[in-house]
């Protein structure tokens, strides 16, 4: 009788232990499945943001390249003569030219998803240390390089308005004067640049910052491409 009771208790104990083990295993499995879904969601979100940033960078590069081409027309005219046709191919707006001299170009790529993932702590779901390293390099180091040149350009251009207002009011007034046609406006600006070494020197500094900004943008885009490739590899591996 005692033996039968022992066997019954033993079987009950085994069933309880087995049930607990299975329950624990199922819970762990459920957590693993949830973590995997979260991991894929995070990586997919980062991947979509990479596409958005790439499009933004393409637009910024095109704009900055156009700024450089326009500036070069005034700083380094072919045979020392301003090429009106080349400028007209870039812009036909007086406001566009004045804006270039006075307003700096921001660099504000879409990074809301990245910041949301960082702030929520969801980056923990990403197992790839390489992706984390590239993300840090992209959004901290590479981004700060571009931002620094933007800040330098901003400081220089902020000094332009008082400088132009004081030394070249004719250029400022001509922007909104409907009686001054575009060709005349270009001649006024060209004459001001060629006859004022301070004006020309400021533009040369802006030209340098634009070149450096494009160089750092290229480094930023290389990190972006590296991130895109690594995310694709990890997602393909499953």
Query: What are the angstrom distances between the C-alpha of 112 and each of 50, 65, 226, 236?
Result: 11, 27, 20, 25
- Name the phi and psi angles at 107, rounded to 5: -130, 100
Is pLDDT at 96 greater than 60 in this prediction? yes
Q: Looking at residue 143, what is its pLDDT?
A: 94
Query: Do residues 97 and 70 lie in contact, with contact meaning Cβ atoms separated by under 8 Å?
Result: yes
Read off the tokens for 44: 């997919």
> Domain count of the chain?
1
pLDDT surpassing 90 at residue 185: yes
What is the rounded average pLDDT of the residues 143-157? 90
Average pLDDT over residues 204-212: 91
CA dist., res. 104 & res. 152, Å (int): 10
Q: Domain residues for 48?
A: 2-237
Kindly tell me if the per-residue pLDDT of 194 is higher than 60.
yes
Residue of 65, 55, 72, 52 whose CA lies nearest to 105: 65
Contact (Cβ atoms closer than 8 angstroms) between residue 185 and residue 114: no
Mind listing the pLDDT tens digit for each residue in 103-135? 888 899 999 999 999 898 888 888 889 999 999
Find out whether 37 and 214 touch, Cβ atoms under 8 Å.
Answer: no
pLDDT number for residue 80: 82
Q: What are the tens digits of pLDDT across the range 12-47?
A: 556 565 556 655 554 555 445 576 788 889 899 999
């Amino acid at each position: 009788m005692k033996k039968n009771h022992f066997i019954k208790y033993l079987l009950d104990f085994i069933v309880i232990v087995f049930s607990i083990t299975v329950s624990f295993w199922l819970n762990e499995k459920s957590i693993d499945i949830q973590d995997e879904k979260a991991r894929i969601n995070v990586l997919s979100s980062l991947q979509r943001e990479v596409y958005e940033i790439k499009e933004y960078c393409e637009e910024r590069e095109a704009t900055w390249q156009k700024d450089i081409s326009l500036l070069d027309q005034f700083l380094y005219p072919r045979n020392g003569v301003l090429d009106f046709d080349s400028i007209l191919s870039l812009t036909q707006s007086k406001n566009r030219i004045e804006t270039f001299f006075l307003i700096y170009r921001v660099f504000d790529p879409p990074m809301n998803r990245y910041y949301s993932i960082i702030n929520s702590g969801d980056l923990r779901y990403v197992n790839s240390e390489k992706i984390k390293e590239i993300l840090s390099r992209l959004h901290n180091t590479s981004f700060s390089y571009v931002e620094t040149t933007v800040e330098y350009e901003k400081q220089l251009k902020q000094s332009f308005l008082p400088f132009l207002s004081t030394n070249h009011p004719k250029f400022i007034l001509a922007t909104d004067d409907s009686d001054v046609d575009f060709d005349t406006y270009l001649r006024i600006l060209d004459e001001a640049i060629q006859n004022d070494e301070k004006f020309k020197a400021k533009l040369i500094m802006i030209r340098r910052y634009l070149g450096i900004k494009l160089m750092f943008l290229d480094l930023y885009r290389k990190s972006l491409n590296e991130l895109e490739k690594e995310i694709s590899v990890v997602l393909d591996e499953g």
